Structure 1
Amino acid sequence: MGITRNAAETSISVVTLDFPPVNALPAQAWHDLADTITEAGRDPATHVLVLRAEGRGFCAGVDLKELQADPDRAAIIGVNRGCAAAFGAVYDCPVPVVVAVQGFCLGGGIGLVGNADIVVAAEDASFGLPEVDRGALGAATHLARLVPQHLMRALYFTASRIDARALLHHGSVYRVVPRAELDEAALVVAREIAAKDPRVIRRAKEAINGIDPQPVHRSYRYEQGFTFELNLTGAADEARQAFLDRG
């Protein structure tokens, strides 16, 4: 349980999220994930990284119970910094990151997937940002990397989800496979990359990031400023508590 890293095959590092029941990560886990991905990317033996999760869903975002239990706001600061670090670690990883998504991918999960290089999804995968229903903002930066601008806004304001097949249509999901085949499908792509000269692949990743029109780090941190504002007004506390009371 927690965050683990192993070498599934030569040159392929696999990082796994495992936080039952829904992979909602506490503040420290986001920092740990950032450290794990950064360490794997710096390892010269790593030619490609696969990010995956155990359980019925890839990631439900942050642990709202932790936020509600903390009266002095240290948890919200920790979560915001941790999410920024984890999303940034995926984006800045010196090697390509292939993400394997099953079930739900919500909130912070969108931040991870949106910053990845290649997305492979199970047929049951769905993606969404319920932030406005939780009194928070953020990861519109990353949702905008998965869908066109007006669809992003509709999904964001309604807190609705989009399925893997629709993202395949938009070109942001590379393959959609039966859930039982998800891990192998991610490894198939990873093997193809890992077989290439890592000197070239690492420079290719750096070059592609260098021509990216979207400043993902600055854009996400800008969004987070409004999350702090909502916490100061009390709107965030009320929304989180209403969600927790429902279930």
Structure 2
Amino acid sequence: MPVITKRVSDHIEVVTVDFPPVNALPVQGWFDLAAAVRKAGEDPDVRVVVLRAEGRGFNAGVDIKEIQRSTGYAALVGANRGCYAAFGAVYDCAVPVVAAVHGFCLGGGIGLVGNSDVVVASEDATFGVPEVERGALGAATHLARLVPQHLMRALYFTARTITAAELHSYGSVYQVVPREELDDAALAVARDIAAKDPRVIRAAKEALNGIDTQQVHRSYRFEQGFTFELNLLGAADDAREAFLKDKGND
């Protein structure tokens, strides 16, 4: 199964994403991830969710090849709805979500990480939103939760990445560790949270979401509207084809 859940000690549910080769998720993958996180949060025995990935990187966003293979806009609509569901499941999860990030975290990966409660990253982790180079918009909402406003705009317009160490300096990444220590570090944070009274932690998660100044659901949905416009204009299709052509020449 590309989305795997495993209960570990101390009331922690580990959700692992594994879509080789680069964890670019197809439409169903986003919905499966959303369902796994949502189910974990609804389990009264779960106190913390750890979100991690296998393979070369944490997440490479949507599966562009799936969109290009499809006719019409069904795959695009599915990807947008799937991302919305997965990002929302992380944000709305009744218990804290700890993201364990390694390698690349791009596009949709930023949506997951930006909506997580705690981010632990390996030293090789890099974060970015290459949407403008793919003819799409989205995840600026979540990137803005990781870096200051003007840096977010620079990263968004240039599509460049930022390191885990840089994010740590802004406080959005809680801890940076060697790659081989990532899982243990994420579990250590999760165990610290899980040791607290679960009634208080669940109330705290709801309260923190309630006082959040950023309406993540509304702002992300607003961004997605421009992706549809760019597709209707043909700009998105041109960008995706150019990206796949470049990848084919690598």
Say yes or no: TM over 0.5. Answer: yes
Question: 1:21 is matched with which residue?
Answer: 21
Give the whole-Å Cα distance in 2 for the aligned partners of 1:8 and 1:53: 16
Question: 1:8 is matched with which residue?
Answer: 8
Deviations 1:146-174 (A, max 9, x none): 00000000000000000000000000000
Question: 1:215 is matched with which residue?
Answer: 215
Question: 1:78 is matched with which residue?
Answer: 78
Q: CA RMSD in A?
A: 0.5
Deviations 1:36-69 (A, max 9, x none): 1000000001000000000110000000000001
Give the whole-Å Cα distance in 2 for the aligned partners of 1:246 and 1:164: 27
Give the whole-Å Cα distance in 1 for the aligned partners of 2:7 and 2:36: 13
Give SS of 1:51's match. Answer: strand
Unpaired runs of 5+ residues, structure 2, are: none
Give the whole-Å Cα distance in 1 for the aligned partners of 2:70 and 2:106: 22
* 2:152 aligned partner, one-letter code: M
Question: 2:38 is matched with which residue?
Answer: 38
Paired-residue identity, %: 72
Please say if 1:245 is aligned against 2:220: no
Question: 1:229 is matched with which residue?
Answer: 229
Deviations 1:106-145 (A, max 9, x none): 0000000000000000000000000000000000000000
| Structure 1 residue ranges, 4+ long, deviating more than 3 angstroms after superposition | none
Question: 2:55 is matched with which residue?
Answer: 55
TM-aligned CA deviation for residue 72 of structure 1? 1.3
TM-score (norm 1): 0.99
TM-aligned CA deviation for residue 10 of structure 1? 3.1
Give the whole-Å Cα distance in 1 for the aligned partners of 2:170 and 2:209: 21
Unpaired runs of 5+ residues, structure 1, are: none
Question: 1:147 is matched with which residue?
Answer: 147
How many residue pairs match? The answer is 247
Contact conserved, 2:118 with 2:174, CA < 8 A, in 1? Answer: yes
Give SS of 1:176's match. Answer: strand
Give the whole-Å Cα distance in 2 for the aligned partners of 1:38 and 1:57: 23
Give the whole-Å Cα distance in 1 for the aligned partners of 2:176 and 2:9: 22
Question: 2:199 is matched with which residue?
Answer: 199
Contact conserved, 2:58 with 2:101, CA < 8 A, in 1? Answer: yes
* 1:194 aligned partner, one-letter code: A
Contact conserved, 2:10 with 2:195, CA < 8 A, in 1? Answer: no
TM-score (norm 2): 0.98
Give the whole-Å Cα distance in 1 for the aligned partners of 2:99 and 2:3: 15
Give the whole-Å Cα distance in 2 for the aligned partners of 1:8 and 1:164: 26
